Amino acid sequence: MRRSIIIDCDPGVDDCIALMAALGSPKELDIRAICVVAGNVPVETCYRNARGVLALAGREDVPVYAGCERPLSVEPAFADHVHGESGLGGAVLPDSAAPLSGLHAVDYLCETFGNAAPGSITMVITGPMTNLATALARDPKIAAAVDELVIMGGAGTEGGNVTPHAEFNVFADPHAAEIVLNCGRPITLIGLDATLQFRCTANRMQRMLASPHSAVAAASDMIAHVNAVYGEIYGAEGAALHDPCTIGYLLAPELFKVEMVRVSVVCDNAERRGHTAVQAPSSISDGAVIGWVTGLDAQPLFNLLIDRMERL
């Protein structure tokens, strides 16, 4: 079945790769809109990057809406030390000639979900959850239109990547994550426990460099930068491709191992800000019950995503 989806993101290298894989999957995914939010880089930069991906893909028919410029309560945190100042690593994307949209992403979400049939739209979130949280705070009834939320965020056994306790998307806006994770709709959360199993290793990089396709060439220019940063900061072989896991999950859920868990978010403790406590559903009384991805089949997932980018 073709799913109607909205992608909310903060592109960002791995967000761009997620967008390209989604755009290369028109039979399965009907992308209604891309919303952007401040996260890896400021929201204006995310807006330009999302439009650049659409220009590269020849898909400027997909609208892009700029959303929240800052988190709900905490001070903004960016990740340009990983993604580069442009958010695109070493890649340069074409300028988009599409008209600019004046509609705020939160207004778009309220209007679209407000007018949609119950359970009719899937939302993918690969950045801080500020846009949807703001929309839900304004009108909690819009949650009914959500079929499923597929979110990259959080960490269980892996601890964190911004601090020892927290993953970036939840750290960047823990209060938003708390609202979204408790919205009452089905959620699949793909955190570091899974995404750190999905790395752009030297072999996979070679595969990308050998591709004659412009989208994959742009993706390898992006990843080369992040791979170098990962090597320096974490001493790791190959950057984790966090955000594309969300699209991979929609396309091929059989490649992912999911357990039902209870997740609660630490909001008001400076040291543990953005920590996600992931527990068996019966072990604690608070926190939302959601699907938590614990594992994935990395090589078929990589092949699938590259194949989809090569269709652009």
* Cβ closest to ligand BDR, residue 54 vs residue 110: 54
CA 209/CA 262 separation, integer angstroms: 41
If one asks whether residue 12 binds Ca ion (CB under 5 A), the answer comes out as yes
Give, in order, the Cα–Cα distances in Å from 44 to each of 10, 11, 152, 156.
Answer: 10, 10, 21, 32
Pick the binder of Ca ion from 24, 87, 127, 287 (CB under 5 A). 127
Pick the binder of ligand BDR from 7, 8, 15, 181 (CB under 6 A). 15
Three-class SS state of 202:
helix
If one asks whether residue 276 binds ligand BDR (CB under 6 A), the answer comes out as no
If one asks whether residue 148 binds ligand BDR (CB under 6 A), the answer comes out as no
Which residue minimizes CB distance to ligand BDR?
A: 168
Whether 154 and 146 have beta carbons less than 8 Å apart is answered as no
Cα dihedral 140, 178, 35, 257 in deg (nearest 10):
-110
If one asks whether residue 246 binds ligand BDR (CB under 6 A), the answer comes out as no
CA 12/CA 9 separation, integer angstroms: 8
If one asks whether residue 126 binds ligand BDR (CB under 6 A), the answer comes out as yes
CA 218/CA 87 separation, integer angstroms: 13
Whether 266 and 165 have beta carbons less than 8 Å apart is answered as yes
Query: Could you give the maximum distance between any two Cα atoms of the chain, in Å?
Result: 53
If one asks whether residue 230 binds ligand BDR (CB under 6 A), the answer comes out as no
* Count of residues interacting with Ca ion (CB under 5 A): 6
Q: Give just the sign of the alpha carbon dihedral 251, 256, 261, 264.
A: negative
In this chain, which stretch among 9-17, 22-30, 177-185, 270-278 interacts with ligand BDR, using CB under 6 A? 9-17
In this chain, which stretch among 7-15, 84-92, 136-144, 260-268 interacts with ligand BDR, using CB under 6 A? 7-15
CA 53/CA 58 separation, integer angstroms: 9
If one asks whether residue 79 binds ligand BDR (CB under 6 A), the answer comes out as yes
Pick the binder of ligand BDR from 86, 169, 182, 276 (CB under 6 A). 169
Site mask for Ca ion (CB under 5 A), range 230-249, x = bound: -------------x------
In this chain, which stretch among 115-123, 163-171, 180-188, 271-279 interacts with ligand BDR, using CB under 6 A? 163-171
Q: Given 83, 175, 225, 242, which residue is catalytic?
A: 242
If one asks whether residue 198 binds ligand BDR (CB under 6 A), the answer comes out as no
Pick the binder of ligand BDR from 38, 152, 190, 261 (CB under 6 A). 152
Cα first-last separation, the chain:
21
Cα dihedral 116, 262, 67, 32 in deg (nearest 10):
-40
If one asks whether residue 49 binds ligand BDR (CB under 6 A), the answer comes out as no
CB of 76 to ligand BDR, least distance (A): 14
Q: Does the active-site annotation cover 242?
A: yes
Q: Which does 161 bind (CB under 5 to 8 A by kind): Ca ion, ligand BDR, none?
A: ligand BDR
Closest-CA residue to 8 (of 160, 145, 156, 135)? 135
Residues forming contacts to Ca ion in the complex (CB under 5 A) are 10, 12, 15, 126-127, 243
Residues forming contacts to ligand BDR in the complex (CB under 6 A) are 12, 14-15, 40, 79, 82, 126-127, 152, 161, 167-169, 242-243
Residues serving a catalytic function are: 242
